[in-house]
Amino acid sequence: MTSTAFLEAETGNEEIAQFKTTPDSKLSAHFDIPVAHMASGFHTLVLRLVGVPGDSGTNWLQINTRESQFRYLTTPQPLNPQLDHLDWLFDRASLDYHPVVSVFAPSHSSWAVDAESYVAEGVGLRYQFLPVRINVHDLTVQGGSQRTDDLTDIFAKLPQQSRIAVLIGTATSLQPILHQLGQIKVAHATIAVQVYPGHPDHAILLITGADARQVVLAARTFANPNLAYPSARHLQIDRVSGNADVQNPAIPISTVPFHATEYPLAVTGFKTVTINGFSGPINVRVWNGGWQRSVELRLNLVYSAGMAPTSDVNVLFNGALEGSIPLNAPSGGKYIKYAVSIPSSETRTGWNTLSLVPNLIPAATHDFLYNAERANLQLSIYANSTLTWQGGNSLQQFDLTALSNSGFLGAKAGEVVNLVVPEPRDSQMLSAVATLLAKVAQRQGGTFLIHAESPQDIDNGPILAVGPLSSLPIALQRALALKEDRDGLWRYSRPLQPAEDGELPTAEGYSFAPGKHGYALSARFDGYPLLAFTAPNSATLRSAIHHLTSFGMWPQLRGFTDWWRADGKTIHAIGIANAPFYAFGTAG
């Protein structure tokens, strides 16, 4: 590098600092960004090497982005909270990598857990990509011999960087707090936001109603950030029509998601479409609930006469070309069940994208008629075209990769996820539940239906269980192949390969001490997917889930048995990848 090279810092299209560099040496530079360049919103800082001749590869400068830091000196401004700008309170532009939201509730019964779950979804979706941590606190409001919590007590429990407290409960249970806030009468499901009394740079969000049903309705409404909220601080909700508040995409998947599954593209929402020579690609999102499954696509299509021999439809899967369908008959033609095979190496667990890219070229072209000639070309692709997932065997379980990639809990569109949170429920356990659900909502990109159930009341459908190991219902422990052993050990046993001659498969098992680890396991319960997140106790569970949902950890979830230290950097996993090759059948 020449001795005349400089490192230049630029923001807002203006140079704000410049530093002379010395060849073969280190540079530690400090500079201020003027306040005039720090208006609200996102900014781009450009670091540029200038004063070097040409673009020689010998002139370079390496910046250590891990050790480099921004330091902000800020003063909180008074808030003017409105329901149509709740994203200002749950701000994805937060300077904190792990923003913390505090939720306060006087009850943790099943309906209250439902409400807390929907609030967690709404908080997660508003933060979008930031791994938010939700702390659930007990709120004492009944008085008697025990001192009741007031607004001063609640404020004292807020984290230093948090600017909002979320209160969930019926109007009766929250009456002392509502009285302090001036919210005396609540007759409907209500979402309200207002400045925190005595703290103009903080806010309170109320999720309340006259009874438990209304509280859950208010929470479900809050869960969807895409609703047209009024420019006001108070909203009363009479009802929610249909499933307008639930954003689950249609997932074409059978009750047992790992067997070969064939379905028409219509199940994905695709409709028969007719396109012309100027149409762009057709993209269809398809769901893979298994592991290393190949795909066979069978297309039904008709094309018009007048195509050039070079006309075709390219078939891409996740961006890779998998086949090309020629449209070269001069008088037009039809394909019935035209097969395109896609190898397992190109499929992903979770969502995949099928792209049909038409290339329609007229057989005879004239410069002045080219546009009209091309517009006359027609191609129809029918919704009864089918897609078949191939491979898999009955030993395969729900793969946690689907949860990691897409937030998939095993539920079809409109299906309710059964949430099992063992009793007695404490604030640390519920904090783990809320933080986990916020992350799942972020990965799904929308809200989903969930209902807290006791084990004996579980309805048909997928199950999500969150709680300490010993508190998990015995029936779920059996399904997860877990059994409490002696001396604080646990026994885990699960078959990794099929047995011969119809005999029961032999389970591979070992004993383990839970230690300071978190665990994620998948299995089946009454034919439905079962996911469990557990740890030796509530405190470790909360720490493990908070750590799991952080940057770098969540994408490591895979297989059907995962474990990690509550303060570690690596997730260890067991899955079908650990089974011998002959267990796969046609899976590869």
Sheet with 45-50, side-by-side order of all strands: 14-20, 6-11, 45-50
**Strands in 57-143 per DSSP E:** 100-105, 133-138
Distance CA 398, CA 409 (A): 9
In a domain, 256, yes or no: no
Token pair in block for residue 283: 């993209």
**pTM recorded for the entire structure:** 0.77
**What CATH number is attached to the domain comprising 541?**
3.30.379
**How do the residues of the chain divide into helix, strand and coil, expressed in percent and rounded to 5?**
20, 30, 50
Residues 415 and 561 in one domain: yes
Residue where one domain finishes, among candidates 362, 390, 418: 390
**% pLDDT > 70, the chain:** 84
pLDDT at 526 over 80: yes
Residues 220 and 294 in one domain: no
pLDDT at 105 over 80: yes
Distance CA 541, CA 399 (A): 21
Cβ atoms within 10 Å, residue 517:
19
Distances (CA, A) of 100 to 58, 299, 429, 501, 564: 46, 49, 16, 55, 22
**What CATH number is attached to the domain comprising 94?**
3.30.379.10
Predicted local distance difference test score (pLDDT) of residue 504: 46
Token pair in block for residue 401: 């990769």
129 forms beta bridges with none
Cβ atoms within 10 Å, residue 17:
16
In a domain, 198, yes or no: yes
In a domain, 207, yes or no: yes
Predicted local distance difference test score (pLDDT) of residue 266: 87
Residues 88 and 149 in one domain: yes
User: What is the arithmetic mean of pLDDT over 197-215?
Assistant: 94
Between 289 and 564, residue with greater pLDDT: 564
Residues 306 and 197 in one domain: no
Helix axes 110-127 and 427-444, enclosed angle (nearest 10): 50
Highest mean pLDDT pick, 15-24, 231-240, 542-551, 559-568:
542-551
In a domain, 485, yes or no: yes
Distance CA 86, CA 284 (A): 33
pLDDT at 367 over 70: no
pLDDT at 500 over 50: no
Among the residues of 445-581, which ranges form H helices? 474-479, 538-548
Residue where one domain finishes, among candidates 73, 103, 136: 73
In a domain, 395, yes or no: no
In a domain, 242, yes or no: no
User: What is the arithmetic mean of pLDDT over 465-489?
Assistant: 90
Residues 304 and 216 in one domain: no
Helix axes 110-127 and 212-223, enclosed angle (nearest 10): 20
Residues 301 and 443 in one domain: no
Residues 428 and 571 in one domain: yes
352 forms beta bridges with 286
Token pair in block for residue 173: 């249970």
**What CATH number is attached to the domain comprising 304?**
2.60.120.260
In a domain, 78, yes or no: no
pLDDT at 291 over 70: no
Distance CA 578, CA 85 (A): 48
Sheet with 482-484, side-by-side order of all strands: 482-484, 490-495, 507-512
Q: What is the H or E stretch that residue 465 is in?
A: strand 463-466
Predicted confidence band at 1 (pLDDT cuts at 50, 70, 90)? low
Domain that holds residue 327: 261-390
Between 453 and 224, residue with greater pLDDT: 224
Residues 17 and 136 in one domain: no
Residues 381 and 442 in one domain: no
User: Minimal CA–CA distance to 128: which of 94, 161, 155?
Assistant: 94
Predicted local distance difference test score (pLDDT) of residue 252: 46
Residues 144 and 293 in one domain: no
Residues 64 and 135 in one domain: no
**% pLDDT > 90, the chain:** 43
In a domain, 495, yes or no: yes
Residue where one domain finishes, among candidates 368, 390, 412: 390
Among the residues of 451-548, which ranges form H helices? 474-479, 538-548
Predicted local distance difference test score (pLDDT) of residue 241: 59
Residues 469 and 572 in one domain: yes
Domain total of the chain: 4
